[in-house]
Amino acid sequence: MIGKLNHVAIVVPDLDKAVATYRDALGAKVSDATDLPEHGVRVVFVELPNTKVELLLPIGENSPVAKFLEKNADGGMHHICYEVDDILAARDKLVASGARVLGNGEPKIGAHGKPVLFLHPKDFCGTLVEIEQV
């Protein structure tokens, strides 16, 4: 069921500084910033040969990552995203195995324009997991 690692998401308090770190210090290719108001974040993707790093900056009062940044003022790893072929089949299998899907259980469109779901961190070794249909 689980496919390749799509990205690791890092919440940052200063997106420009984070972009400069990845672009200038590490020499990575970095996308332009995109606002996703429905998710309460501004995102930038760092392209790597084998995956991506997603840099997240909270926008708006209802941003789910704002609380993360309140607890972790310097930022840090927020979630890990795995690819799946069929998000509904993956969801149903995960739920049947006892995993909890966050939200209403229905996929939303993520930053890549593809359906995504988030899984409760207590069910995955303390890590928030996103699955994305490819």
Domain CATH for 44: 3.10.180.10
Judge whether 32 lies within some domain. yes
- Structurally, the chain folds into a number of domains equal to 1
**Hey, which residues are catalytic here?**
130
2 within domain boundaries: no
**122 residue type, one letter:** K
Domain for residue 1, yes or no? no
Mean pLDDT over each residue of the chain, to the nearest integer = 96
The pLDDT value given to residue 28 = 97
In a domain, 54, yes or no: yes
Rounded mean pLDDT, 13-23: 97
Dist CA 93 CA 105 (whole Å): 13
- Write out the residue range of the structural domain in which residue 109 sits: 7-133
Q: Convert the pLDDT of each residue in 63-121 to its tens digit.
A: 989 999 999 999 999 999 999 999 999 999 999 999 999 999 999 999 999 999 999 99
Any domain includes 45:
yes
By the 10 Å C-beta count (0-12 exposed, 13-18 middle, 19+ buried), 36 is classed as middle
Burial (CB count <10 Å: 0-12, 13-18, 19+), residue 66 = middle
For the entire predicted model, the pTM comes to 0.94
Judged against a pLDDT cut of 80, whether residue 23 lies above it is answered with: yes
